[in-house]
């Protein structure tokens, strides 16, 4: 499964080590109805508590992905919890990289992603089959603080002074459209996630990486919906977003915000190259090279585009 929709012509594949876990039943395509994918973060104490809680629920397969920065926790945890499969990413990676790897390794059609410093406060286990058939690419949960206070983590796109922007709000209605999964937490449809390319490894800032993913999903005709039935609570403070424009923002602009639909296909108009050159912090030669690379990427996926950003925001505001 290719989950690297990079503007790079030759995206690098990250290496990782697998520890523990049950043997794979290769007779059945999906030996589990659900995979719980945990991304390691924080100290080991909370990690062990979370695993005990998840194993006690018997929801399905548990897959744990650790980055190289916290790799010392993996071996003792794998001995303490032999039922859990641990993936140790040995290369430097972003959270999106680790989600890509985990969903690729999952042995279930649906994958619930959360962090080791969160708790799965609510999950409708009886509705797993219906959630798979719904065709929703990502179902975004309600997030709460350690004091059970709701966090404004659902977003809606809008125009502010003719610029693309977002408004965050506290979840109130089940089935609302959500632009991207806050902190990567959500219930992902494994096949649809693969078909849309997953998180872009070339976007290093998590904020822009998630926005790039969400925009691409909606521009390509997929759905990300919020659910009041799924809840995630944080044991500490939720992470702060860094929305400072950087290299990631440039990729978001090139592959999403600057795209227009013409004759039922997506195009990155050549006249947008001048805008990019004027606002890029690189020289004109580098800017033109980056623009052309993005233009090739958009052309390669031109028939996947169902709408452009203007149509997305206008339709969102009318609904």
What is the distance between the alpha carbons of residues 120 and 193, in angstroms, rounded to a whole number? 21
Residue ranges and CATH numbers for the domains of the chain are 16-234 (3.90.550.10), 247-318 (no CATH)
Q: What is the pLDDT of residue 5?
A: 46
pLDDT by residue for the chain (319 residues), tens only, comes to 444 444 345 567 899 999 998 876 655 566 889 999 999 998 777 899 999 999 999 999 999 999 987 667 788 899 999 999 999 999 999 999 999 999 999 999 999 999 999 999 999 999 999 999 999 999 999 999 999 999 999 999 999 988 999 999 999 999 999 999 999 999 999 999 999 999 999 999 999 999 999 999 999 999 999 999 999 999 988 889 999 999 999 999 999 999 999 999 999 999 999 999 988 888 899 999 999 999 999 999 999 999 999 999 999 977 7
DSSP-derived 3-state class of residue 67: coil
What is the distance between the alpha carbons of residues 194 and 301, in angstroms, rounded to a whole number? 14
8 A C-beta contact, residue 48 and residue 77: yes
Kind plus residue range of the DSSP H or E element containing 160: strand 154-160
Exposure on the CB side of residue 319, measured as CA atoms within 13 A: 13
Strand 34-39, strand 110-115: pairing? parallel
Rg (CA), the chain: 20
Q: What is the pLDDT of residue 7?
A: 37
Q: What is the pLDDT of residue 10?
A: 52
Q: Full-prediction pTM beyond 0.85? A: yes
Please tell me what DSSP assigns to residue 60.
Answer: S
8 A C-beta contact, residue 255 and residue 267: no
Q: What is the pLDDT of residue 282?
A: 85
8 A C-beta contact, residue 140 and residue 186: yes
Dihedrals phi, psi of 145, to nearest 5 degrees: -75, 175
How many angstroms separate the Cα of 277 from the Cα of each of 19, 286, 288, 293? 47, 9, 7, 14
Q: What is the pLDDT of residue 28?
A: 57
What is the distance between the alpha carbons of residues 307 and 95, in angstroms, rounded to a whole number? 28
Strand partners of residue 170: none
Q: What is the pLDDT of residue 73?
A: 77
DSSP-derived 3-state class of residue 17: strand
Q: What is the pLDDT of residue 17?
A: 92
- The sign of the dihedral angle between the CA atoms of 130, 135, 138, 144 is negative
Q: Angle at Cα 317 formed by Cα 315 and Cα 319, nearest 5°?
A: 70
């Amino acid at each position: 499964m290719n989950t690297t929709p990079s503007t790079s012509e030759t995206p690098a594949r990250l290496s990782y080590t697998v520890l523990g876990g049950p043997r794979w039943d290769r007779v059945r395509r999906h030996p589990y109805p659900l995979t719980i994918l945990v991304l390691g973060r924080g100290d080991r104490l909370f990690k062990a508590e979370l695993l005990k809680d998840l194993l006690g629920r018997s929801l399905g397969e548990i897959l744990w992905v650790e980055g190289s920065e916290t790799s010392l926790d993996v071996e003792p945890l794998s001995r303490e919890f032999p039922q859990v499969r641990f993936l140790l990413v040995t290369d430097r990676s972003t959270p999106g990289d680790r989600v890509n790897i985990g969903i690729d390794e999952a042995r279930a059609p649906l994958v619930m992603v959360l962090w080791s410093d969160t708790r799965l406060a609510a999950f409708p286990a009886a509705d797993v089959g219906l959630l798979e058939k719904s065709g929703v690419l990502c179902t975004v949960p309600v997030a709460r603080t350690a004091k059970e206070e709701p966090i404004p983590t659902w977003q809606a796109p809008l125009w502010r002074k003719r610029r693309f922007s977002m408004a965050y709000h506290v979840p109130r209605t089940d089935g609302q459209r959500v632009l991207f999964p806050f902190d990567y937490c959500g219930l992902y449809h494994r096949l649809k996630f693969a078909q849309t390319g997953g998180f872009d490894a070339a976007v290093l800032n998590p904020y822009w990486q998630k926005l790039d993913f969400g925009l691409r999903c909606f521009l390509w005709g997929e759905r990300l919906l919020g659910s009041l039935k799924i809840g995630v609570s944080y044991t500490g403070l939720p992470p702060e977003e860094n929305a400072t424009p950087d290299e990631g923002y440039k990729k978001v602009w090139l592959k999403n915000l600057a795209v227009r639909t013409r004759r039922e296909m997506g195009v990155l108009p050549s006249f947008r190259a001048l805008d990019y050159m004027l606002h890029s912090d690189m020289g004109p030669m580098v800017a033109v090279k980056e623009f052309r690379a993005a233009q090739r990427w958009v052309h390669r996926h031109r028939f996947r585009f169902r709408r452009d950003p203007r149509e997305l925001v206008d339709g969102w505001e009318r609904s």
